[in-house]
Amino acid sequence: MEMVQAVVSAAEKTHSPVILQTTPSTVKYADCNYFYANVRTAAERAHVPVVMHLDHGNSFELAMQAMRAGYTSIMIDGSHYTFDENVELTKRVVHPNNIPVEAELGKVGGKEDDLDGGEGDPYTNPQEAARFVELTQVDSLAVAIGTAHGVYKGIPKLDFDRLSEIRKVVEIPLVLHGTSGVPDDAVKECIRRGMCKVNYATDLRIAFTNGVNRVLNAAPGTIDPKKYNSEGRIEVEKYVLQKMEILGCIGKG
């Protein structure tokens, strides 16, 4: 709830549209309906577009569960399968849906929640990307250009030229995963070269935890979750306000 409040508050202050997401392990913690109810409540009160997305949907069944709950878009992630298996899984989700579907080709490294980026050559092949989009008719595509989920051990080196090559042959919106920890100038360059949707998760969690820890370190006896969670909410909003400026979405809601 506090994450939703923080992000939507930042969106309202900057007049920015915003996408809120849950991952499969998040949904295990509290199912799609719990999270959808939070976001729907915030969206109904907001004066900017607020939508709800399933991130890294790892099965057809979960994709359908999110769709039935009311999510406004869905990602089906078959990137850990072979190309043909990824195509078939993605097609299964695209065809029964009347809402946008995101897929992934290539492997974004690291680990987000229980989702492992896998091994092998991680980068998205531009020609395979074009073929994948043609075969699946997917609405947006997450591509692997060197980002990773989780906390980076160093400064990530992104393959901007590969992104440009993908953009030349793929017309649908491209998605950047694992953006937490990526330098702002690199994110801006990705957007300049055609990235349309940018995902942040880890840094929001870090910001929230920093706010909570500040309260508990100053007053270890605090037992009211509202007191420390509200500080977490403040830190997330600060972070999101700064990133919305970097992303160029201010005033577009």
What is the chain's percent helix, strand, coil content, to nearest 5?
50, 15, 35
Which conformational region is residue 210 in: left (phi greater than 0), alpha (psi within -120 to 50 degrees), or beta? alpha
Residues 6+ apart with CB under 8 A from 243: 200
- What span, in angstroms and rounded, lies between the C-alpha atoms of 52 and 71? 5
User: Residue 105, SS3?
Assistant: strand
Q: What is the 3-state secondary structure (H, E, C) of 116-169?
A: ECCCCCCCCCHHHHHHHHHHHCCCEEEECCCCEECCCCCCCCCCHHHHHHHHHH
User: Residue 46, SS3?
Assistant: coil
64 by Cβ neighbours in 10 Å (0-12 / 13-18 / 19+) ranks as middle
Q: Is 55 a catalytic site residue?
A: yes
Q: Among the options 31, 55, 116, 185, which is catalytic?
A: 55
DSSP 173: P
DSSP 252: -
Which conformational region is residue 145 in: left (phi greater than 0), alpha (psi within -120 to 50 degrees), or beta? alpha
Return the active site residues. 55
